[in-house]
Chains A and B, each alone.
Chain A
């Protein structure tokens, strides 16, 4: 079964600093990978997704992620954190075969942005 691991349940950065949220996947076949953001008391919003085209994926709100097959990673970055980026971030994967609609999520990383 495919899975994702998010390293760090809580990341704290200063406003203006680099944001790096880590995600590693386990799969024998490169899956499709997603990053979602969840603001307090809201649903999940898609930030970006990797669908086997370009390995560097740009998303909304200045976020981007790079798919690295050799490292089985899909880390999320943003050059300069903003207070409004404070939220919980989830990495997710869908399998390459059957049931490819089924999102499997990591445990999430809570991002805190300090002024």
Chain B
């Protein structure tokens, strides 16, 4: 079946611009996660959705970052006023249910470059 998809695969933007990254989870998966992979910090958790609610936003690095999920499906991660340190690969994952026993399936990521 279809896996997690993300778009765009690559995004180059200028410092100060806003960007939107999209994630389409596996159909029927109630839990959705965003992670960031950067050279300096490795893989970091950003935010977790259960349905359309985000009970854990603890990993969002600043108030320039926000995310939403609609219809219990598609999620969008928005970064406002991008900075060079935002350059990274943004990975989305989904799981059937939240919790440690459920495997998180990852998408291919969006590579963001801020010039």
Give chain A's interface residues, CB within 8 Å of chain B: 32, 36, 41-46, 49, 51, 90, 92, 94-96, 99-108
Contact = CB atoms under 8 A, between A and B. Distances in A.
A103 B107 contact: no
A100 B42 contact: no
A99 B105 CA distance: 18
A107 B31 CA distance: 25
B25 interface: no
15 contacts: A32-B101, A36-B106, A41-B108, A43-B106, A43-B108, A44-B106, A46-B104, A51-B100, A92-B43, A101-B31, A103-B35, A103-B104, A104-B45, A105-B43, A107-B42
Nearest to B10: A41
Given A36-B106, A105-B43, A105-B44, 10 more contacts: A43-B93, A44-B91, A51-B101, A101-B31, A101-B98, A101-B102, A102-B48, A104-B45, A107-B42, A108-B43
B99 interface: yes
Q: Is the interface of A mostly helix, strand, loop or mixed?
A: loop
Interface string B36-75: 0000001111001000000010000000000000000000
Contacts of A90: 43
Nearest to B6: A43
A43 B101 contact: no
Contacts of B104: 46, 101, 103
B56 A99 contact: yes
Contacts of A103: 33, 35, 43, 45, 104
A102 B56 contact: yes
A45 B91 CA distance: 12
A43 B100 contact: no
Contact of B106 (A45, A94, A104): A45
B51 to A, nearest CB: 13
